[in-house]
Amino acid sequence: MMTRVWVGLMLALTLFYVFTLLSRGLILLAEPNPLAVAMGVGIIIFPLFAFWALYAEIRFGLSSQKLQKRVVAMNIPGLDLELRASGRATKESAEAELLRVQGLAEGSEDFAAWFLLAEAYEAAGDRKRARSAMRKAILLAKNANSSEN
């Protein structure tokens, strides 16, 4: 629930930023000075990147959440991690699970194995590889859905 509140807050702040920049860019486009017009065009382009990034992140999050529900419904055992009092995995248990799950996912086209690999990378603190593995899991799950139909 708290994650949705933060996502909503970031969405609202980004939209405020985008609309503020768009209005400033339109004001600059109305100026007769070519430099002001060039700045206006640049200021209008930046919000387009913000919209794209916001859309991509929300789509990734929703796809990850949907895939998590699907994996949980399959009753696949999760990671066996020792947790600290804070709820984070210990480094040793995260690395051990990462090695175990890497062996399962290596060369596999099973989206559940890649989902577990993404969770293992996240537990080990490697967010970049976790996101990459999650993207592959989402793609494999979509391919599995399309081949079932």
User: Domain segments of the chain: what residues?
Assistant: 2-73, 91-148
In the chain, the DSSP E strands lie at none
Determine the Cα–Cα distance for residues 124 and 58; give it in Å rounded to an integer. Answer: 24
Q: What is the pLDDT of residue 88?
A: 84
Determine the Cα–Cα distance for residues 146 and 149; give it in Å rounded to an integer. Answer: 5
Whether the CB-CB separation of 112 and 101 falls below 8 Å is answered with no
Which range has the worst mean pLDDT, 31-40, 96-105, 119-128?
96-105
Q: What is the CATH number of domain 91-148?
A: 1.25.40
Assign 119 a pLDDT band (cuts: 50, 70, 90): very high
115 closest CA partner among 74, 69, 71, 73: 71
**What are 14-38's pLDDT values in tens digits?**
889 888 888 999 999 999 999 999 9
Whether the predicted pLDDT of 12 surpasses 70: yes
Average pLDDT over residues 114-123: 92
51 closest CA partner among 28, 7, 17, 26: 17
How is residue 86 annotated by DSSP? T
Determine the Cα–Cα distance for residues 115 and 101; give it in Å rounded to an integer. Answer: 10
- Look up the pTM and report it: 0.77
78 closest CA partner among 100, 45, 59: 100
